Amino acid sequence: MHLSSSTLLVLLASTQCHAFAPAAMRARAPSPRAQWWEEDGTAPDAGATTTAKATGEHQIKAGDHVRLHYSLTTTGGQALDGAELTFDTEEVDLVVGAGGFLPALHNALDGASLTVDAPETMTLSAPFGERDPRLGPIPVPAANAPKGMQPGDRAGLSNGATARVMSVSDEKVVIDANHLYAGEDLTLTVTLLEPPNGRPLQEATFAGGCFWGVELAYQREPGVVRTEVGYAQGADPSPSYEAVCSGVTGHTEAVRVRYDPSRVSYERLCDLLLDRLGENRYALNRVGNDQGTQYRHGIYFSDDAQQATAEAVIAREQQRDAGRPIVTEVERIAAYYAAEAYHQQYLEKGGQSARKKETEPIRCYG
């Protein structure tokens, strides 16, 4: 991502939002990913663990569901600025290697040997990537910026990324899209809180239009451990994003969720979908400006219990406005195919917060 003055779109000053130019329509290209992600959505080698002392009894591997407490600090022991993080720290649940959080955290856990309640410390080599001069600092003419900007404000860019405002003068505004901790080694302290895979997870599949925004909504939901976007209910066994967008494959953009039923119910997950749909629940094959069968909304159950819950949720919501039929599909999941890697956790990679209980509005277009 190379910055120029034309990329500056929105400045987030406190809670104010200032537009520089009309927002672009939905991108059809890879995410404006953070610099610690590769083009294919995987973690770069630079985020690998450089030292590890863990010699515990549980050998952690990709695919394991782990509950742990972790912290990130500078190598000097200073806590990181939480405002710079799009993910949770401290006590979390995650599936190793399944995305979300920080790629270097997954790299550090994969292959580590950990003992329950025994803290282990590791050094991460530039987990937020190296500083890139193409990302800043870069001057933007002050005439292109709204008045009242201050150093420390966040600037939203037209490609969906964000930048920090470094300085402001009468002539120019200097911004920097490098992460605050780019180029720095960090210390990871991690404590396994229970044996891996100790609690069974359940799976659910939902469709609500643009899968980027729906996925982020589920990422923020407490009890959701893993999310993945993909294509549901179509006939083509190897769909591509371009083919699905054409509307001829029969798929709909969907989100597959793995969740801990002891912490969040299937009913709550169904409600979350309908809450996000809002008035779109009454619109056939449309969510907002996205139209076509590939954007139809639905709850795709995997067993009789999920079916009964989904139907009860729809019936309850229908009673609120009996004169307008809810057209959200409730069907047994017939097919699901994971989407391309660059779509996974798309909006988080673009800088939007995936922290649990986050209330910042989701911007589906960056």
Q: Which of 210, 245, 270, 364 is catalytic?
A: 210
Which residue type occupies 78?
Q
CB atoms near residue 364 (< 10 Å): 20
Q: Given the DSSP bridges, would you call strands 286-287 and 290-291 parallel, antiparallel or unpaired?
A: antiparallel
Can you tell me the distance from the alpha carbon of 113 to that of 59, in angstroms, rounded to the nearest whole number?
Answer: 4
pLDDT digits (tens, 9 = 90+) for 67-103: 999 999 999 999 999 989 999 999 999 999 999 999 9
Can you tell me the distance from the alpha carbon of 366 to that of 363, in angstroms, rounded to the nearest whole number?
Answer: 6
3-state secondary structure the chain: CCCCHHHEEEEEECCEEEECCCCCCCCCCCCCCCCCCCCCCCCCHHHCEEEECCCCCEECCCCCEEEEEEEEEECCCCECCHHHCCCCCEEEEEECCCCCCCHHHHHHHCCCEECECCCEEEEECCCCCCCCHHHCCEEEEHHHCCCCCCCCCEEEECCCCEEEEEEECCCEEEEECCCCCCCCCEEEEEEECCCCCCCCCEEEEEECCCHHHHHHHHHCCCCEEEEEEEEECCCCCCCCHHHHHCCCCCCEEEEEEEECCCCCCHHHHHHHHHHHHHHHHHCCCEECCEECHHHCCEEEECCHHHHHHHHHHHHHHHHHHCCCCCCCEEEECCCEEECCHHHCCHHHHCCCCCCCCCCCCCCCCC
**Which CATH superfamily hosts domain 202-349?**
Peptide methionine sulphoxide reductase MsrA (3.30.1060.10)
- What is the residue-averaged pLDDT of the chain? 87
User: Residue 133 burial (CB < 10 Å; 0-12/13-18/19+)?
Assistant: exposed
Q: Which of 229, 224, 232 is nearest to 201 (CA)?
A: 224
- Catalytic, 210? Answer yes
CB atoms near residue 158 (< 10 Å): 17
Q: Which pLDDT score is estimated for 365?
A: 63
pLDDT in tens for each of the 366 residues of the chain? 444 434 443 443 332 333 233 223 344 444 445 555 554 545 554 444 444 444 568 999 999 999 999 999 999 999 999 989 999 999 999 999 999 999 999 999 999 999 999 999 999 999 999 999 999 999 999 998 878 889 999 887 766 677 899 999 999 999 999 999 999 999 999 999 999 999 999 999 999 999 999 999 999 999 999 999 999 999 889 999 999 999 999 999 999 999 999 999 999 999 999 999 999 999 999 999 999 999 999 999 999 999 999 999 999 999 999 999 999 999 999 999 999 999 999 999 988 999 999 999 998 864
Bridge-partner residues for 74, per DSSP? 186
- For tokens 């029969």, the residue is 250
Q: Which pLDDT score is estimated for 35?
A: 55
Q: Start-end ranges of CATH 3.30.1060.10 in the chain?
A: 202-349
Q: Which pLDDT score is estimated for 83?
A: 87
Terminal-residue alpha carbon distance, the chain: 14
Residue pair 134/124 in contact (Cβ under 8 Å)? The answer is no
Q: Given the DSSP bridges, would you call strands 172-176 and 162-168 parallel, antiparallel or unpaired?
A: antiparallel
Residue pair 156/59 in contact (Cβ under 8 Å)? The answer is no
